[in-house]
Amino acid sequence: MSSALSTEPVLCGDETPVNVARKDSDEHGTPVPGAPHVVTVRTPEERLVWSRALPARTKVALRTLGCQRS
pLDDT digits (tens, 9 = 90+) for 5-52: 889 999 888 876 666 656 667 788 777 766 667 888 899 999 999 888
Measured CA to CA, the distance from residue 69 to residue 6 in angstroms comes to 5
- The predicted pLDDT at position 51 comes to 86
Say if residue 59's pLDDT is above 60. yes
The whole-number pLDDT of residue 70 equals 41
Q: Write the DSSP assignment of 34-56 as a string of letters.
A: T--EEEEEE-TTSSSEEEEEESS
Q: What is the pTM of this model?
A: 0.60
